[in-house]
A and B are shown apart, each in its own frame.
Chain A
Amino acid sequence: MNAYTRPDFRLPPQPTAESAAFWTGGERGKLLVMRCRACGHFFHPPAPVCFRCRSLDVAPEATSGRGTVAAFTVNQQQWLPGLPPPYVVAMIELAEDHDVRVTSNVVDVDPKDLRVGLPVEVFFEEWGEGEDRVWIPLFQPATDTHEGELA
């Protein structure tokens, strides 16, 4: 197990009207993902319009924060200051809707143990101060999930 330590620096996002829920839901421990009330699908990243059915009746909704790894890459170079390699960038398929994927880091895992289909769960890392505070959703291997549940 490679124990995760918070990096010295991340480029924190600047939330917009659409993305604020996603970036700040972590304050209450919730992964908020946009959902279309017309067609029922979740979608991400957030937008004022459902890209599938073009409905404007969309709003952020709490998800379980669980999912599976759809694809991952182990980054071995230091592109960004404060984010030392190696680190894992992954696409996470949400348990609620497998067509919805969140790009994030998977941490607390030996890269050798990473695989497509690995069950993961969200946690949040707070950055910024005052009105600029954000809670970046990151993922770690799920602790209490049987793989079959999400297959």
Chain B
Amino acid sequence: MRRVAIVGAGMTPFKEHFDLGIKDLVPMAVSEMAGSVDKGLDRADIQAAWFGELTTTDGFPAGILADSCDLMDIPVTRVENACATGNDAVRNATYAVASGAFDVVLVVGADKVRESSSRSTFWEWAKLTRDVAWDYPVGLVAPANFALHAARYLHESPATREHMAMVAVKNHKHAVPNPKAQLRYEITVEQVLSAPMVVAPFGLLDCTPQSDGAAALLVVSEDVVEQYTDHPVWVRGVGLGLDRVMHQHKADMTSFPATVKAARAAYAMAGIGPQDIDLAEVHDCFSAVELISYEDLGFTDRFGAAAYVASGATTVGGARPVNASGGLKAKGHPPGATGVAQCVELFEQLRGHASNQVDGATTALAHNIGGPTAVSAVTVLSSEKG
């Protein structure tokens, strides 16, 4: 397979875009992406597009992308894979370029969660990934799904709610310098612990906000990369992993096997291991999910996440910063855009101009999990071609 690189990246702010639709947000992200291409992008160069969108509020997704970006002469494919949609769109585009089918392709992710009111989100969105027949008679909604895992994790591991709070505090702090982040203010451990409870052990500040936004990447082959930049970010590995949808069949509730499988595939393709990852964007939809993911991604030993986060290793300035952008928790989480925006952040980090720059990083990892924990996508990026 040919080597594949990202040469442009852009995104809208993640926020409540009450006045903008998907068909507005998508071309805004694509324009910012085009502006980031060092040697310029002629729109006619784009040969195909993959569009990650979990649900659509403006109508037919592929058509909206083609129409709003005036890309009428290329194939456009919508990708939907629960909250792993964004990094799965990156994965599909990577394979298309690696195969030789295309040299220059576009990856876009977008969603508008705030099109729904807070109260109705779990009716309009959660049913996309939930087994309504089994969960709703007993009042189980999406946050409770993750809460069951977190509760069992707290039971078996040394982690406490304080360790969960450290994740939220860290990611809020990281978001402050990020102009694209939704929640740009610091919080304290005490505030997290005393916030209104949602589904124990998750209080309000353990949870991601509801967000709107779009993100875009330009993915090209090694054969044409020099036409666009002298500083590409290489897609070194991609991976997708699945697990059982139903809790009832999950033998171990303290790990997400989908993440383990996706990471294994991405590391194998990249020819590296977790020890080589300098920084990461990890799917912190709920604080404890970041802790569990440290272990599933191989950043620390099983049940080592509490000590790991407490050590400061994952704070910017530490050995392996996680969610320097603010993460889902503070940057925001419009699901289809989330994974693509993680790669936007890492593109900027690995080229040295991120808003919350991690010095000296060469290799980075992006991670999504969803469905609620039945699918994971992992992307490994590097400034080194390898």
Cβ contact of B200, chosen from A14, A16, A73, cutoff 8 A:
A73
Contact partners of B201 in chain A: CB under 8 A: 73
Cβ contact of A100, chosen from B133, B196, B248, cutoff 8 A:
B248
> Are B251 and A99 touching (Cβ within 8 A)?
yes
> Are B199 and A116 touching (Cβ within 8 A)?
no
> Are A13 and B133 touching (Cβ within 8 A)?
yes
- Asked if A11 meets B151 with Cβ closer than 8 Å, knowing A76-B196, A79-B122, the reply is no
Residue A80 CB within 8 A of the other chain: yes
Residue A104 CB within 8 A of the other chain: yes
> Are B151 and A72 touching (Cβ within 8 A)?
yes
Contact partners of B138 in chain A: CB under 8 A: 89, 103-105, 136, 138
Contact partners of A13 in chain B: CB under 8 A: 133-134, 137
Residue B386 CB within 8 A of the other chain: no
Residue A122 CB within 8 A of the other chain: no
Q: Which of A1-39 contact B (CB under 8 A)?
A: 10-14, 16, 19
Interface flags for A68-88 (1: CB within 8 Å of B; 0: not) read 001111111101100100010
Contact partners of B198 in chain A: CB under 8 A: 76-77
Complex: chain A residue closest to B146, CB-CB:
A73
A92 to chain B, nearest CB (A): 10
> Are A74 and B199 touching (Cβ within 8 A)?
yes
> Are A71 and B253 touching (Cβ within 8 A)?
yes
Residue B39 CB within 8 A of the other chain: no
Interface flags for A81-114 (1: CB within 8 Å of B; 0: not) read 0010001011100000001111111000001000
> Are A73 and B151 touching (Cβ within 8 A)?
yes
> Are A83 and B139 touching (Cβ within 8 A)?
yes
Most buried by B among A77, A80, A116: A77
> Are B151 and A71 touching (Cβ within 8 A)?
yes
How many residues in A have their beta carbons less than 8 Å from beta carbons of B? 37
Contact partners of A14 in chain B: CB under 8 A: 133
Whole-angstrom distance between the alpha carbons of A90 and B149 in the complex?
Answer: 11
Complex: chain B residue closest to A10, CB-CB:
B137
> Are A11 and B136 touching (Cβ within 8 A)?
yes
Complex: chain B residue closest to A115, CB-CB:
B155
Residue B41 CB within 8 A of the other chain: no
Interface flags for B100-131 (1: CB within 8 Å of A; 0: not) read 00000000000000000000001000000001
Residue B152 CB within 8 A of the other chain: yes
Residue B20 CB within 8 A of the other chain: no
> Are B249 and A103 touching (Cβ within 8 A)?
no
Whole-angstrom distance between the alpha carbons of A95 and B374 in the complex?
Answer: 26
Whole-angstrom distance between the alpha carbons of A116 and B254 in the complex?
Answer: 13
Whole-angstrom distance between the alpha carbons of A102 and B135 in the complex?
Answer: 10
Most buried by B among A43, A80, A87, A105: A80
B50 to chain A, nearest CB (A): 31
Whole-angstrom distance between the alpha carbons of A138 and B137 in the complex?
Answer: 10
Whole-angstrom distance between the alpha carbons of A14 and B135 in the complex?
Answer: 12
B301 to chain A, nearest CB (A): 22
Contact partners of B155 in chain A: CB under 8 A: 71, 116
Contact partners of A105 in chain B: CB under 8 A: 138-139
Whole-angstrom distance between the alpha carbons of A22 and B135 in the complex?
Answer: 14
Residue B353 CB within 8 A of the other chain: no
Interface flags for B234-275 (1: CB within 8 Å of A; 0: not) read 000000000000111111010000000000000000000000
Contact partners of B151 in chain A: CB under 8 A: 71-73, 116
> Are A73 and B147 touching (Cβ within 8 A)?
yes
- Asked if A79 meets B141 with Cβ closer than 8 Å, knowing A91-B253, A100-B248, the reply is yes
Whole-angstrom distance between the alpha carbons of A76 and B136 in the complex?
Answer: 16
> Are B199 and A75 touching (Cβ within 8 A)?
yes
> Are A70 and B152 touching (Cβ within 8 A)?
yes
- Asked if A44 meets B137 with Cβ closer than 8 Å, knowing A71-B151, A89-B148, the reply is no
Residue B313 CB within 8 A of the other chain: no
Interface flags for B184-201 (1: CB within 8 Å of A; 0: not) read 000000000000111111
Known: A14-B133, A103-B138, A111-B200. 9 other contacts (CB 8 A): A11-B137, A13-B137, A72-B151, A73-B199, A76-B197, A76-B200, A101-B250, A105-B138, A116-B155
Give B residues with C-beta under 8 Å from A. 122, 131, 133-141, 144, 147-149, 151-152, 155, 196-202, 246-251, 253
Give A residues with C-beta under 8 Å from B. 10-14, 16, 19, 43-45, 51, 70-77, 79-80, 83, 87, 89-91, 99-105, 111, 116, 136, 138
Cβ-closest 5 pairs across A and B: A73-B147, A71-B152, A74-B200, A76-B197, A11-B136
